[in-house]
Amino acid sequence: MVETREVMDVREASEYLGISRETLYKYVYEEKIPAFKLGNRWKFKKTVLDRWMEKQSAQFEQRGSRRLRATAK
């Protein structure tokens, strides 16, 4: 098993998230995903990405449960 580094480059972050590099760049430029520049390279902190994914997941689950309640009425 490969250990994931705390600070990742675009290749590592796209593999970690399971998305293409192109999609990751799109999300960065649309400010949909947390990233920072170190020099002229985009970098991603694993802990920040993990928190972001948890937040995204929680929002998705809330929307889904609202829809279920609305259709049950």
Q: How far apart are CA 29 and CA 10, in angstroms?
A: 13
pLDDT at 63: 72
> 1 lies in a domain?
no
pLDDT at 72: 58
Q: Tell me what the mean pLDDT of segment 2-11 comes to.
A: 87
pLDDT at 1: 52
Q: pLDDT tens, 28-43?
A: 999 999 999 999 999 9
Q: Specify the DSSP element, H or E, that contains 44.
A: strand 41-45
**What's the domain count of the chain?**
1
pLDDT at 60: 78
> 2 lies in a domain?
no
Q: Specify the DSSP element, H or E, that contains 38.
A: strand 36-38
Whether 36 contacts 43, CB under 8 Å: yes
Q: What domain range includes position 11?
A: 7-72
State yes or no: pLDDT of 4 exceeds 90.
no
